Amino acid sequence: MAKKFRTIYDRTDDGSVTLASSADRWHLAEDHVHLAPHQHESTLLKFDAQLMPIIDSPDRGALVVIDMQNDFCAPGGWTDASGLDFEACREAIPGVQRAIAAARQHDMFVIWVYWHNRPDLRNLGAPTLHSFKHEPAQKGIGEDLEHGKVLVRGEWGAEMVDELKPLMEEDDIHIEKVRMSGFYGTHLDGVMRTQGIQTLYFAGVNVDQCVTTTMEDAYFRDYNAVLLEDATATSSPGYCKDAVVFNTRNCWGFTMTTDAFANPEVVRSA
């Protein structure tokens, strides 16, 4: 009879330690973490991640691309108009392009998560509005800039940057959000559960704000979280991203490069 693995910190036949139990468990070995030991028929890939390489099935993975929108990453957008470093946000674009190519290669879902606010802003409270308007003269969500209203559905600022539009496919998943976290008040969790997705690979901007809050919410819901370091960026000072990378490796999950994402070792073919 197959072992049920109902005991936390149980020992496997190869000496690994079980984290959690049954189908939710990981196997923690000396030199890797197996995120899907219960997957007996799926392809298994070994990714060069930090703090430790991970083994997982691509069948249950998805790439989550967050807020790669004109208002954050294009000249004339909100970040630019606010005097912040939109060019720093643009540094994520090549990495996001590589991440999308890798996800397509692994036949993973690509999930686009982005701000699409209501034109009347009735569902936004003062704390969220203040995040985008720190002084009376600054243009906030829903106010007019050169190309239209900030982060409002149907406006230029809420569109994906031109470099990524050609990479969007009909089968991709789109999640509209109205808070920093892509889970708050959205269908993201429901989509993940119904599609059998357990491991989320994160890309986008700002890594220290919307990316990390979405990633933390994924962790709180027991998803496996992986940050693609060179597919993320921020207009904040560099130490802000450094802190996210550190906390991801030590708390939320794992980090890796887009090269590691694209070129895993095949442990087992289906």
240 annotated active-site = no
Q: Which among 56, 59, 67, 80 is annotated as catalytic?
A: 67
Decide if 170 contacts 103 (C-beta within 8 A): no
67 annotated active-site = yes
Structure tokens at 79: 């970040």
Q: What angle do CA 87, 256, 210 make, to 5 degrees?
A: 50
Distance CA 149, CA 162 (A): 18
Decide if 185 contacts 179 (C-beta within 8 A): yes
| DSSP code, position 10 | P
24 annotated active-site = no
Residues 6 or more apart whose Cβ sits within 8 Å of residue 115: 67, 69, 71, 141, 151, 158, 176, 177, 178
Q: Which among 56, 89, 149, 210 is annotated as catalytic?
A: 210
Q: Which among 177, 208, 217, 230 is annotated as catalytic?
A: 177
Q: How many other β-carbons are positioned within 10 Å of the β-carbon of residue 112?
A: 22
Looking at the chain, the number of H-run helices and the number of E-run strands are 9, 14
Helix, strand, coil content of the chain in percent (nearest 5)? 30, 25, 45
Positions marked catalytic? 67, 177, 210
